[in-house]
Amino acid sequence: MKKLGLIIAVSIGLSACASGMNGGTMPGNSNNIVTQYPIEAAMLNIYTKARSQSLVATVGNQTASADIKVTPKGSMVFNNKQVQGAEVNTINKVNNQITDQSVAINYFTLNPLVFHGFTDSSGKYSLSNQTTTIPKMATVGSSSKLITEDVYADRSMRKKIGTYNQDWSLTRDSNNTAWFCIETSANLLLNNDPNGTSSECYKINARGDILDSKVTISQPTVNGAKTIVFTSR
């Protein structure tokens, strides 16, 4: 999957699309506490379905934002495989002035959901190795490795510029909502990645609908790690 960019180059999107799946509940509990959530359905809503979203953060005395639109592209060929694609168009702004625009395509197959990599408008070409199966359902408190992604300067794949690990976790938010988070490591090819690490978190309900989001980026500085939090608006 397309790795989160830094500061304002955030390549994620949200969806309010219902998945039709129900989470597990604790039998006989009058508070109807949901204990399981549909992870695969949530990821389908996040990465593969049409949606738009804005994220905003305060950086020093400036306001950084990212306007994201995801558009399914249907059947495509990637790395000599028949796959599905979803385009992510991101417009970055500082103090409401456009500073950058990027377009990426995530490639995946369904039944089960498997991510294969991405390409973007800068020429980058990524290959993903999905290390575990994405579960249909998961219990609050669960976590797992997701993918290892190798990123190349272009589709010739002669120059590798990054290797990243991505993991997911599920933590309780309320009796009937949870935070589903995807953590991306620093670039494993660098001793000190200036881009740091990132965590994109989505508040989901028992159907896998996306209710809210937040993105946390942690960058190393000479004075220690600097953390920036983007929230949906």
Helix (H) or strand (E) holding 102: strand 97-109
Tens-level pLDDT at each residue, the chain (233 residues): 664 443 343 333 322 222 333 444 444 444 689 999 999 999 999 999 998 889 999 988 999 998 999 999 999 999 999 999 999 999 999 999 999 999 999 999 999 999 999 999 999 999 999 989 999 999 999 999 999 999 999 999 999 999 999 999 999 999 999 999 999 999 999 888 888 899 999 999 999 999 999 999 998 888 888 899 999 98
| Model pTM score | 0.86
Give the C-alpha separation, 229 to 232, whole Å.
Answer: 10
Phi and psi at residue 174, to the nearest 5°: -145, -170
pLDDT of residue 225: 83
Give the C-alpha separation, 106 to 118, whole Å.
Answer: 4
pLDDT of residue 146: 95
**Residue boundaries of the structural domains of the chain:** 36-232
Rg (CA), the chain: 18
For residue 16, is it left (φ>0), alpha (ψ between -120 and 50) or beta?
alpha
> pLDDT tens digit string along 184-196?
999 999 888 888 8
- In total, the chain counts a number of residues equal to 233
Contact 63, 95 (CB under 8 A): yes
